[in-house]
Amino acid sequence: MRLRFTKMHGAGNDFVVIDATRAPFALTRDQMRLLGDRRFGVGCDQILVIEPSTDAGADFRYRIFNNTGDEVEHCGNGSRCFVRFVVDAGLTDKREIHVDTMNRRLLLKLRDDGRVTVDMGAPVFDHAALPFDAAGLTPRLENGFELWPVEGVELGVVSMGNPHAVQRVADVETAPVATLGPVIERHARFAKRVNAGFMQILGRDRIALRVYERDAGETLACGTGACAAVVVGIRAGWLDSTVEVQTRGGLLRIEWTGGQSPVLMTGPATKVFDGEIEL
Ligand SMILES: N[C@H](CCC[C@H](N)C(=O)O)C(=O)O
């Protein structure tokens, strides 16, 4: 089949975006794996599928598949690219857009400076939301926040709709992302696996972050991972409520006032090219 797509990235986290508002999305898992392959296909971290809304309260639906073909709950960098795509494609004349993902409704705002602010919803600390099995573990409390001992490190666990396990490190550049990342990503205590974040505190308003993502491995940026890291840092007492997150692919701004308040993420969304591929 001949597939039209748009290649995009959000701070270097890259995507193949497919407009399924006019014809239903019908790629097989093998076709998605080929599409995501950086040698035999187009290459991307995730595939984003834009669909018509099925609910009057939302403008669109938005489905996310890791480059393995596995459908997942959320993609923060992808949500910013989604907005840029639907506006540039003329699929909406709005600049504030409600979109439904698998388990959340997001409010997205395209700003005059071209960046996008996303209301990512509230973090969820209930272990069942990840899920995380803490049986037999005793957490260390940091400012009243539970840090869980797994594989010799301390993990802050939180769901942003998708699962995250964040650890604090002294230096992200020397952190064992390539070796410890996959061990945490597929650890038995995370039945649906997990995105493994490595956070260096640079100040109460600035961190550096690397994320070994579930399925995709280390990406240049992870939007939900940036939200998760800042939320863990705030709950642990290490960060204030507005934080600049330095990723290898660019800068994200995360804001959270605690409790059930939503996490706000602001960052770039870039179109690279339009293309077609025979799958
Ligand atoms: N790998 C993630 C999905 C993509 C998240 C990331 N690219 C983002 O920007 O939030 C997962 O399996 O939960």
What CATH number is associated with residue 44?
3.10.310.10
Same domain, 164 and 234: yes
Same domain, 153 and 81: no
Would you state the structure tokens that stand for residue 31, as one six-digit string? Answer: 């076709």
- Active-site option among 44, 75, 81, 227: 75
Same domain, 219 and 104: no
Same domain, 136 and 250: yes
Alpha-carbon span 70 to 234, nearest angstrom: 31
Same domain, 172 and 220: yes
Residue 122, C-beta contacts closer than 8 angstroms, at least 6 positions apart = 259, 260, 261, 262, 263
Same domain, 147 and 257: yes
Q: Is 81 a catalytic residue?
A: no
Q: How many independent structural domains does the chain possess?
A: 2
- CB of 222 shorter than 6 A to ligand 1: yes
Ligand 1: nearest atom to the Cα of 162: 13
List the domain range (segments joined by +) for residue 14: 2-121+268-278
- CB of 224 shorter than 6 A to ligand 1: yes
Same domain, 117 and 131: no
pTM of the model: 0.96
Same domain, 132 and 256: yes
Per-residue pLDDT of the chain (279 residues; tens, 9 = 90+): 899 999 999 999 999 999 999 999 999 999 999 999 999 999 999 999 999 999 999 999 999 999 999 999 999 999 999 999 999 999 999 999 999 999 889 999 999 999 999 999 999 999 999 999 999 999 999 999 999 999 999 999 999 999 999 999 999 999 999 999 999 999 999 999 999 999 999 999 999 999 999 999 999 999 999 999 999 999 999 999 999 999 999 999 999 999 999 999 999 999 999 999 999
Strand, coil or helix: 205: coil
Alpha-carbon span 85 to 9, nearest angstrom: 11
Same domain, 134 and 233: yes
Same domain, 164 and 253: yes
Strand, coil or helix: 76: helix
User: Where do runs of H (alpha helix) occur along the chain?
Assistant: 29-36, 76-88, 177-185, 223-235
Same domain, 163 and 239: yes
Q: Is 227 a catalytic residue?
A: no
Question: Minimal CA–CA distance to 267: which of 138, 155, 137, 116?
Answer: 116
Alpha-carbon span 64 to 182, nearest angstrom: 21
ipTM score above 0.90: yes
Same domain, 109 and 140: no
Alpha-carbon span 270 to 98, nearest angstrom: 20
Q: Is 143 annotated as a binding-site member? A: no
Question: Minimal CA–CA distance to 226: which of 204, 188, 200, 203?
Answer: 200
